Chains A and B, each alone.
Chain A
Amino acid sequence: MDTTPIINNFKSEEYQINMGPQHPATHGVLRLLLTIDGEIIKKVEPDLGYIHRSIEKMCERDSYQQIVHLTDRMDYLSSHINNEAVCLTVENALELEIPERVKVIRTIIAELTRIASHTLWWGVMGMDVGALTTYFYGFRDREMINDIFEETCGARLTMNYNIPGGLMFDIHPNFVKRTKEFIAHFKTKLPEYDLLLSNNIIFRKRMEGIGILTKEDAISFGASGPVGRASGYSCDVRKHHSYSAYDKVKFNEVLKTEGDTYSRYQVRVLEMWESLSIIEQLIDNIPEGDFFAKTNAVIKLPEGEYYQKVETARGELGVYIVSTGTKNPYRMKFRSPGFSNLSLLNHIAVGGKIGDLVATMATLDLVIPDIDR
């Protein structure tokens, strides 16, 4: 018998590959340094800062009214909710009485924003797993919401509809009618989403059982929003630290326990139904009254520290203001949901294939300016 050991001349070697900053799956200017063995991901190292504008530093020289406008540019898909976060912080610090009308309108528009963000995400999700048609379906429905926004506040994406103390204008007379039209339209279209993508066998096979995040890890990594809730971690700020008009409406916090990519997908789709129900409950009950509370032209927050969290489409956005009593914040920090959600990417993507990484990343729903700020 031949006993010479078999010498393997073919060495397998890990190699590194740059995904981004210009790559279709990173949805912006995120750069991932991947260490790969064949097709299997060994390490994911995010490299950030390609779109960093130092919003936190800019805030230190701006007045509070100006800061609201900067926040649009963070998570541009939930711009209204970002504005709301800053406004709420300032209002709470000033202990302003906000008219009920403002609270209700803010809530309705925030939920519309959430739907708009989720429809876009849904389209892009499909595109990332190779089903290009979903993209256009998502945009079709988002377009209706954008039209409503445009009519009410003149902008479609970076809305700046909130000001500290209330809203910039009252709602457009058509607002209620068109929102109802949208609800009726979207209720027929949401089941279509399930037909086209959610129940597709290829899609299910690709999404189920990959990128698993346990509840403990979700909490420890500071996951929030749909990412956390898909792991069974109840983290809906609207429920736990209710703000605006969320305490007046009934809605469910969508929770899944699997923690895989498909459950993250499902949470977002089901959340659109919940958002629809919130809007339905409020749209007929917008109270009459002022659309803003009077504030001083120069807002000076009393000395102290203020923190406010809100639930954006991506998760928990925290605004931390350290004020020394001047018209500018002394230190302003945004705790963005995308930043924490990105930090767990390495944890859940390792061991998967390149295709898995793309699908997993799509369900984290990263918006890069939100991470970079």
Chain B
Amino acid sequence: MNITKNIHEWLFSLMPETTASIVEMVLIAVVYLAIFAVAGLYLVLLERRVAAWFQLRLGPNRVGYQGLLQTMADALKLVSKELTGTLKADKFLYNLAPYFVIVTALMAMSLFPFTKELHAFDINIGIFFLIAISSIGVIGILLAGWSSNNKFALIGAMRSGVQTISYELSVGLSLLTMVLMTGSLQLSQIVEVQEKGGWLIVQGHIPALIAFCIYMIAGTAETNRAPFDLVEAESELGAGFHTEYSGMKFAYFFLAEFINMFIIASIATTVFFGAYLSPFGITENIPLLGVFWFLGKTLLLIFLMMWFRWTFPRLRIDQLLVLEWKYLLPLNLMNLLLMALMVLLGLTIQF
């Protein structure tokens, strides 16, 4: 990437090294923030159009071409709205909660390799970092439910706590299954392995497929989306943990949900479907097309999650836990063993 290299060199020629690197970091952060705020908005639009498609209606199609500016207008409205709150809320925590949720969501974004070069933060414990970050988000939800002094919100928050802690295990274990094949937690390494030997879902065939299914189920649960949307459960709890939030604070929760969905899909893309790699290497000589492939795969997975949401009814809280602890977790552990055996015996498919 020439532009980034040029900016990098220009910055370092202009000021001392430490200042330059700080400025560079800030610049990257701002760019990422802007891109993903907008991306989140368009995911909302996508969801609305997809939902409309499933539900025999049109969806937003008036503001801008095919409703492209609809969510922009919504965001503007939310920004200009009054921030209401409950009188007896714990003010500090109440105000802190939305930032917790949105910040953790955005933090995770920095890790993904969109192309070989466009990779902001290639940490050597990449996968671990992602799991850790995504579980911090639940603290924000718990805070929101607790501090807004509303019983419905509290029930939602407690459900969220239970749910996230449970499904964290499955997300972690199914990713760990894949890590067995790559031997590294670093995302760039994981992609490299796939560049040499084909996408991991093909390499690992049966156990990888099982791991993918479990990952998608657990991932949907992690993002608190239907059929695991017990946290909000509009027919039971009104709006769940964000009952008492309005305006931009509500928008943060809302946006975070969609960015989290993007994160879950991105992790799946990176770990199972070869991140920016094109199928059969058809566009290997045009590296910039990697962004296209990455986003294409991610959107496909996001569509899958939307499909879940608009088809399935919601589970009950005890069924949710039974599903995780009695079915997914044992299956996952067995799958992990199977994968370990396969790697040991060299039964993976290599191209």
Contact residues of A with B, CB < 8 Å?
A: 15, 17, 23-25, 39, 126-133, 135-137, 140, 196-197, 200, 202-203, 205-206, 353-356, 358
Question: Contact between B316 and A355 (Cβ–Cβ < 8 Å)?
Answer: yes
The secondary-structure label for the interface of chain A is helix
Question: Contact between B56 and A137 (Cβ–Cβ < 8 Å)?
Answer: yes
* Interfacial chain B residues near A39, Cβ < 8 Å: 155, 317
Question: Contact between A205 and B319 (Cβ–Cβ < 8 Å)?
Answer: yes
B26-34, B232-240, B343-351: which lies at the A interface? B232-240
* Interfacial chain A residues near B227, Cβ < 8 Å: 130, 202
Q: Kindly identify, within residues 295 to 319 of chain B, every residue whose CB is under 8 Å from any CB belonging to chain A.
A: 310-319
Decide: A355 near B236, CB < 8 A? Known: A136-B57, A137-B56.
yes
Question: Contact between B151 and A15 (Cβ–Cβ < 8 Å)?
Answer: yes
Q: Kindly identify, within residues 191 to 230 of chain B, every residue whose CB is under 8 Å from any CB belonging to chain A.
A: 226-227, 229-230
Question: Contact between A355 and B317 (Cβ–Cβ < 8 Å)?
Answer: yes
Partner pick for B310 among A133, A202, A203, CB 8 A cutoff: A133
Question: Contact between B236 and A206 (Cβ–Cβ < 8 Å)?
Answer: no
Partner pick for A206 among B54, B155, B229, B315, CB 8 A cutoff: B315
Question: Contact between A354 and B236 (Cβ–Cβ < 8 Å)?
Answer: yes
Question: Contact between B312 and A128 (Cβ–Cβ < 8 Å)?
Answer: no
User: Chain B residue with minimal CB distance to A134?
Assistant: B313
Decide: A129 near B238, CB < 8 A? Known: A15-B151, A17-B152, A136-B55.
no
* Interfacial chain A residues near B230, Cβ < 8 Å: 355
User: Chain B residue with minimal CB distance to A354?
Assistant: B236
User: Chain B residue with minimal CB distance to A359?
Assistant: B316
Query: Chain B CB within 10 Å — which of A23, A135, A196, A197 has the most?
Result: A23
* Interfacial chain B residues near A23, Cβ < 8 Å: 238
Query: Chain A CB within 10 Å — which of B54, B227, B236, B318 has the most?
Result: B236
* Interfacial chain B residues near A130, Cβ < 8 Å: 226-227, 229, 233, 235, 312-314
- Shortest CB–CB separation between residue A8 and chain B, in angstroms? 19
Contact residues of B with A, CB < 8 Å?
A: 51, 54-57, 151-152, 155, 226-227, 229-230, 233-238, 310-319
Question: Contact between A355 and B55 (Cβ–Cβ < 8 Å)?
Answer: no
Decide: A17 near B313, CB < 8 A? Known: A130-B235, A137-B56, A358-B236.
no
Question: Contact between A129 and B317 (Cβ–Cβ < 8 Å)?
Answer: no
* Interfacial chain A residues near B226, Cβ < 8 Å: 130-132
Give the complex CA separation of A200 and B315 in angstroms. Answer: 12
Question: Contact between B229 and A133 (Cβ–Cβ < 8 Å)?
Answer: no
- Shortest CB–CB separation between residue A108 and chain B, in angstroms? 27
User: Chain A residue with minimal CB distance to B311?
Assistant: A133
Question: Contact between A24 and B313 (Cβ–Cβ < 8 Å)?
Answer: no
- Shortest CB–CB separation between residue A349 and chain B, in angstroms? 13
- Shortest CB–CB separation between residue A143 and chain B, in angstroms? 11
Question: Contact between A202 and B151 (Cβ–Cβ < 8 Å)?
Answer: no
- Shortest CB–CB separation between residue A230 and chain B, in angstroms? 19
User: Chain A residue with minimal CB distance to B319?
Assistant: A205
- Shortest CB–CB separation between residue B248 and chain A, in angstroms? 24
Partner pick for A200 among B235, B313, B316, B318, CB 8 A cutoff: B313
User: Chain A residue with minimal CB distance to B234?
Assistant: A24
Give the complex CA separation of A25 and B238 in angstroms. Answer: 8
Decide: A206 near B316, CB < 8 A? Known: A39-B155, A132-B55, A136-B56.
yes
Partner pick for B314 among A17, A137, A355, CB 8 A cutoff: A355
Question: Contact between B56 and A353 (Cβ–Cβ < 8 Å)?
Answer: no
Can you offer 24 A-B residue contacts whose CB atoms are under 8 A?
A25-B235, A39-B317, A128-B235, A130-B227, A130-B313, A130-B314, A131-B311, A132-B55, A133-B51, A133-B54, A196-B311, A202-B314, A202-B319, A205-B319, A206-B313, A206-B315, A206-B316, A353-B316, A353-B317, A354-B237, A355-B230, A355-B314, A356-B316, A358-B236
Give the complex CA separation of A200 and B308 in angstroms. Answer: 12
* Interfacial chain B residues near A126, Cβ < 8 Å: 313
User: Chain A residue with minimal CB distance to B57?
Assistant: A136
Give the complex CA separation of A56 and B151 in angstroms. Answer: 38
Give the complex CA separation of A355 and B311 in angstroms. Answer: 18
